[in-house]
Each structure stands twice: as C-alpha cells, then as structure tokens.
Amino acid sequence: MIGNDIVDLANTSNWQRKGFLQKIFTFDEHKQIFRSQDPNTTVWQMWSMKEAAYKAISRTNRNIPFNPKLFLCKKNGNNATVTYLDKVLYIKSELTGDYVHSIACADPEYFNNITTYLLDYTLDYVKKFNSKKSSFKLKKDIEGIPYILDKRTGQSIPASISHHGRYLAVVYLLMLHIPNSGD
C-alpha cells in the first residue's frame, strides 16, 4: 500500500474560513494544529497526510468514500501515523517553504524502498516522466490506479501520483523481496 499527496503552499484555500477545520479535522487534530509553531503549514501537512492515506487504502478498497474526519492523524515531527478504522498507515512528510509532500505506506520499512520523483506539473507529465526514466513507464490500470511498468522485467510496481498547483509527485515502491511467514 502506497499513497502520496502534495500541496502547493502558494495555491491553498483559506483554512480559517468558517467551518473548514470542523469539516476536515477532529477535535484532537485541532489541538495539534493550534499548538504547533506554524498552524498554516500544519493544516496542510495534516490534510496531505489524510489524502496520502486515503490514496493508499483506496488502492485495495476502491469503494471507500473520502471522509477526512475518519482518517485520524497523529504527528511526531515530520513522521506520523494515520489510522482509518482498523488500518494504520505510516507517514513521512517533507515540508518546504513552497510545498508540503506526504507519503503513506503500510509498513515503515517500506520508506527505505520508496523513490520520489518531483516534477513541475504540466498536462503532459506522463510523457515527461517516461522520457526521463528509460527503464520505467508510468501507467494506470483499468481502474485508474497508477503503477510503474519495469520495461526490463515486465514487473508492475505500485505507484502514486499527486499534483497541486505547480507541483507533481510520483512515488513508487521498489520491493526486491517481500518476506512471507516462512522467511
């Protein structure tokens, strides 16, 4: 399971408008936001965490509605967890002055095998990605779920795509060996 979300901080909504926080965040998350040194960045970090977790979970369960308040964030600096019902996802966020980018995955060990590719967002981003990665091809399956095709091996590699404002992020999970219970 992998998901990601990027937020262009120059292109955000007014989170201080009436009802926005109440619609998206729980009471405990409100406390995390207002106790932080930078509530604006924290709002968008937590939003991107929820979105990344939703994208990861929806890879295997296409029918879940996006109800942000059901995705519960617990921050610890740039690392965090998001819990949705009985599923816990691990989150790493990158915060810059320009964007917030969060990646969600089912196991914290997966972060060692995740590749992130940042591009300026354009409508032909698939073509640009594919021209820069000669052995990989960015594709979507019949349900619209992104993956990377390894042209050398024919292997399908889980991927996630996010774009907002000026930015696009493609993340993919290279797993050379997935242990099973007998390993």
Per-residue pLDDT of the chain (183 residues; tens, 9 = 90+): 899 999 999 988 888 888 889 999 999 999 999 999 999 999 999 999 999 999 999 998 888 988 999 999 998 876 899 999 999 999 999 999 999 999 999 999 999 999 999 989 999 999 999 998 889 999 999 988 999 999 999 999 999 999 999 999 999 998 754 444 343
- The H or E element that residue 177 is part of is none
pLDDT for the residue 98: 96
Encode burial over 44-74: b for 16+ CB neighbours within 10 A, e otherwise. Answer: bbbbbbbbbbbbbbbbeeeeeeeebeebbbe
pLDDT at position 176, please? 54
Q: What is the pLDDT of residue 12?
A: 86
**In whole angstroms, how far apart are CA 80 and each of 7, 42, 100, 145?**
17, 12, 14, 25
Whether the CB-CB separation of 35 and 75 falls below 8 Å is answered with: no
CATH match of 2-173 with 2.40.100.10: no
| pLDDT at res. 7 | 97
The residues spanned by each domain of the chain are 2-173
pLDDT for the residue numbered 178: 44
